[in-house]
Amino acid sequence: MNVTHKSQSPATMPAGVKDDFPILTKKTNEPPLAYLDNAATTQRPREVIDAIVSFYENSNANVGRSVHSLSMIAGDIYEDSRRQVADFINAPESENVVFTRSATESLNFVAMGFGNAHLSPRDEVLVTELEHHSNILPWKELCARTGAVLRVVPVDQTGAINIETVGSLIGPRTKIIAVAHVSNMLGALSPVKEIVKLGHTVGARVVVDGAQAVAHLKVDVQELGADFYCFSAHKMYGPMGIGVLYGTRQCLNEMTPPLVGGGIARDVGFDGRPTQYLQVPHRLEAGTPNIAGAAGLAAAVCYMRDIGLDVIERHDNALVRLTMDGLRDIPGIILYSPHGGPKGVVSFNIEGIHPYDIGNHLNSCGVAVRTGVHCAVPMADRLGAVGTVRASFGVYNTDEDVNRLIEGVRGVRPGTWSKQHPVDRFLKVAH
């Protein structure tokens, strides 16, 4: 890995980080791109792209199936990635890390592989109102399948979860609690440690959706005490198509394989003998895995570690503050501001102007943001908004990107979107 401009723990983001990202330095972007849609997906540094290309050019083979050298090399790359990821989130062992396609798949795997086997009618699953649909729908469907009851922790307009409310909704029938570490819509940080403690008093398993946290905070799964922790590589400078399901050894062992197929069993027969599955994590990874993706994810982990999570967090906080300070004075601005400041995102609206009109205008200024409900309709409903505009930050963003966002927002005028798409229709079509 060619990391030349970084030191272990500098006070601020090192200069030149943007140059690591080929897509951000293209001379053809006119105006230059201010990419503030990192909560949808980040861009990838050269190291990550090179790791993927290098796998296909030098090491491409399947893993865990053949004895030839190339297969061994591919196997080493894959298992080394698992170790890097385990180390990154402070998992006790690399066996705690299951590779999936995405955070969405990881959450579905827990619902199918753990939930199906452990829930009975009238058991309860608890989610919060600020969740991404990927951390709502697997539980809704699980409850529909098993006869369990889905209970919802209300949040306030800042996305704050009241721990006493959580306590009042937990009881002996609570079997699973699913909560986002950081809300992708508002950047609100959830009191995960306290929720885990409460959940464990009644024997519930706590599933943390870390998709919006893992690129912004130092995640320590042991300190959090989470039973499961899920995230995607593509929101942390890694490739699309690979995600992580962390689980404690006990919880992973209690899962039935959510997918079955090649690479997960040592004995299969037609004579009625039981299928003998491999140990975790392998028995939860049916089929050919995304080995190139794992190589890219390991490169992303190294990239972030070289910068330092403490530096990344300070950089995020500084950009968030600058954005909020700049937007605050704009006439009609509605800023959604979680207590303690949002983590890595700023969500806002302008009174009387549709978020899509704001997004369109910003696009014409070379500023990329996300507009809409951010796959979190219940939270949009809680805000009473048809959606929001969300600026979200990454390691390469600069004060100049923020200034261009603010200048762009100052220039917004009511546009055409809301006329074409009346509010009630909009809610049904835009996701």
Q: Which is nearer to ligand PMP, 96 or 232 (CB)?
A: 232
Helix, strand, or coil (residue 125) = strand
List the one residue from 134, 174, 290, 388 that touches ligand PMP (CB under 6 A): 134
Q: Could you say whether residue 346 binds ligand PMP (CB under 6 A)?
A: no
Burial of 77 (0-12, 13-18, 19+ CB in 10 A): buried
The set of catalytic residues is 375
Q: Using CB under 6 A, which residues numbered 254 to 313 contact ligand PMP? A: none
Q: Which is nearer to ligand PMP, 96 or 184 (CB)?
A: 184
Question: CB of 315 within 8 A of CB of 12?
Answer: yes
Q: Which is nearer to ligand PMP, 234 or 404 (CB)?
A: 234
Q: How far is CA 405 from CA 206, 251, 322, 392, 420, in A?
A: 38, 44, 11, 11, 25
Q: Could you say whether residue 180 binds ligand PMP (CB under 6 A)?
A: yes
Shortest distance, position 332 Cβ to ligand PMP, whole Å: 27
Instruction: State the distance between the two ends of the chain, measured CA to CA, in whole angstroms.
Output: 38
Q: Could you say whether residue 174 binds ligand PMP (CB under 6 A)?
A: no
Q: Which is nearer to ligand PMP, 103 or 373 (CB)?
A: 103
List the one residue from 206, 211, 295, 380 that touches ligand PMP (CB under 6 A): 211
Give CA–CA dist 146/120, Å, rounded: 6
Q: Which is nearer to ligand PMP, 39 or 206 (CB)?
A: 39
Shortest distance, position 336 Cβ to ligand PMP, whole Å: 16
What is the per-residue burial (b if ≥16 Cβ within 10 Å, else e) of 38-55?
bbebbbbbebbbbbbebb
Contacts of 64 (CB under 8 A, 6+ apart): 75, 263, 282
Which residue shows structure tokens 């979860």? 161
Give CA–CA dist 246/69, Å, rounded: 29
Give CA–CA dist 133/417, Å, rounded: 25
- From the list 167-175, 208-216, 357-365, 398-406, the region that binds ligand PMP by CB under 6 A is 208-216
List the one residue from 77, 85, 89, 103 that touches ligand PMP (CB under 6 A): 103
- From the list 130-138, 260-268, 389-397, 409-417, the region that binds ligand PMP by CB under 6 A is 130-138
Residues forming beta bridges with residue 274, ordered by sequence position: none
- From the list 97-105, 335-343, 405-413, 417-425, the region that binds ligand PMP by CB under 6 A is 97-105
List the one residue from 42, 190, 212, 388 that touches ligand PMP (CB under 6 A): 212
Residues that bind ligand PMP (CB under 6 A): 39, 102-104, 132, 134-135, 180, 184, 209, 211-212, 232, 234
